[in-house]
């Protein structure tokens, strides 16, 4: 069965360890307005993008240099009718070797075309994954969205 979850794949000239470490350093690629910790299994962190988006993620799976999974435990997306649309969705980062490069597959499980925020949230992830995280991995500096 084909998935319709939002998915992006990056290929970079970094080691799996470097990609893993970058993912877990959320403030340097997603937002510096973060409360909590995003480093180890069981950690919880809340990100703030002004009043537009506030969400809390819990690290529910970590396989060093291979996989990171966050469970969205609370969300408040004030630009859509169901502000809790992200609740119980999962954000998954899968890391693998591909020839002499590292492949990062990012999937927001539950962010599907049938939900209201799919278009806007997909554009947001495009910015943060294809843009900020990719720049961090290729140029050494991300462009987090510190909207205060």
- The residue among 47, 19, 52 whose CA lies nearest residue 35 is 47
Tokens coding 99: 């020839």
For the chain, the farthest-separated pair of C-alpha atoms sits apart, in whole angstroms, at 45
Digit-by-digit pLDDT tens for the chain (148 residues) are: 456 999 999 999 999 999 999 999 999 999 989 999 999 999 999 999 988 899 999 999 999 999 999 999 999 999 999 899 999 999 999 999 999 999 999 999 999 999 999 999 999 999 999 999 999 999 999 999 864 3
**Residue ranges of domains in the chain:** 6-139
CATH 3.50.50.60 fits 6-139, yes or no: no
Cβ atoms within 10 Å of 128's Cβ, excluding its own: 21
Cα Rg for the chain, rounded, in angstroms? Answer: 14
Please state, in angstroms and rounded to a whole number, the distance separating the CA atoms of residues 117 and 134. Answer: 23
Record the pTM. 0.94
């Amino acid at each position: 069965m084909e998935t319709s979850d939002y998915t992006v794949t990056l290929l970079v000239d970094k080691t799996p360890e470097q990609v893993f470490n970058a993912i877990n350093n959320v403030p340097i690629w997603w937002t510096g307005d973060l409360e909590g910790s995003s480093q180890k299994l069981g950690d919880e962190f809340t990100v703030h993008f002004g009043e537009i988006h506030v969400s809390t993620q819990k690290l529910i799976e970590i396989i060093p240099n291979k996989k990171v999974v966050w469970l969205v435990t609370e969300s408040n997306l004030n630009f859509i009718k169901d502000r809790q649309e992200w609740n119980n969705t999962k954000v998954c980062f899968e890391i693998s070797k591909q020839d002499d490069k590292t492949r990062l597959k990012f999937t927001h499980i539950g962010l599907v075309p049938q939900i209201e925020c799919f278009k806007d949230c997909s554009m947001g992830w495009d910015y943060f994954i294809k843009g900020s995280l990719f720049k961090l991995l290729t140029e050494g500096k991300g462009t987090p969205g510190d909207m205060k």
